[in-house]
Structure 1
C-alpha cells in the first residue's frame, strides 16, 4: 500500500541550464537537469511505496536549497546544509553517503569509493549507484573520476561535470 506524500517542485536557472528540484516535507529528494519527467519520478517513487501529490512552487516561492545552489554557483558556498530525503537501496545509500565525504575541489575514483565503503571489488556497482544519485551537486558524484584520472560518466553529461569541476578548481579548463 502506498502512502500519499506532498512533493514540492521548484525550477531554477543555473549555469548548467534549468534545474528542477523536488522536495518533501523532510528535505530535498531529487535534482533534475532540465524539466522534471513526472511520470518517471512517480514510477520510481511508487516502487518505494510513495504516491506523490505534486505541488509546483511559483516564481515567488523558493526552497532553501535554491539559495544555497545560487551561492555555490557564485563561488560563495563549498558545502550544503540542506535537509535531504533520500530513497535508495542500502548499497546506494552507503555509496551516496561516501560521496558526501569528497571535499570541494577534490576528486576520487570509483575504486577509491568502493574501497572506502568496504567493497573493493564493487567498482562497477559503485558506478551504478553513482549513476542513480538523485541529488547531483548536493551529493557530489561529479567529483568521481576514472582511476586513470579520465572524465567518465555523468548523468548530466560530461560538459556539466567539467563545468562543476572547473567551478570548484578541481579541473583546469583552458580558455
Structure 2
C-alpha cells in the first residue's frame, strides 16, 4: 500500500468523523482530516529538524521542526503521535509523547485543512530517521532554529504549529495564531 492509499477519517469543523477516504483523495479534494505534530528533543534539549523527501505527498523537500503525520482511520491522536515519532526518528521504545494542544489548520490557497494535535517528546535514543520520510536531519538549539526560519522553505502547517507552541509556552493560548 502506498501512502496515498492509506485510509483516513474525514472530520468536520468540530473534529467529528463524517466519513473516510484514501489519503490521496483527501489531499486532492481538500477533505479535512487529522494530523499529529511531535516536537522531539534530544538529551541536550536540542530540537530535531529535518528536510522532507522530494517524494512526500504534501510539502515535498520542505523543512520541518516536527515529526508526525496523518492520523489513520480509527486511530487516536495519541497512538498516531507515538507511531509517527518512532517511525520518523527510526527508534523504538520512545516514551509516549505528551499532548499539549489542538488547533484547526486551514490554508485557503491550497485547500488543505486538518485538525492538528501538538505533542512533545524527549528522545535520548540514537536516531536513524526513516529514509522514505527524512532527506536530512540535524539537532538545533532554539536560537539556531530561529536563525534559520527565514532562509529555508518550511512546511506551512509546521510553522503555524511552531508559532502556536511558542505562544502556548509563553502563557498564551496554543490555538491562537
Q: TM-score, normalising length from structure 2?
A: 0.29
Structure ranking higher in strand proportion: 2
Structure ranking higher in helix proportion: 1
Higher normalized contact order (CA 8 Å, seq sep 6+, divided by chain length): 2
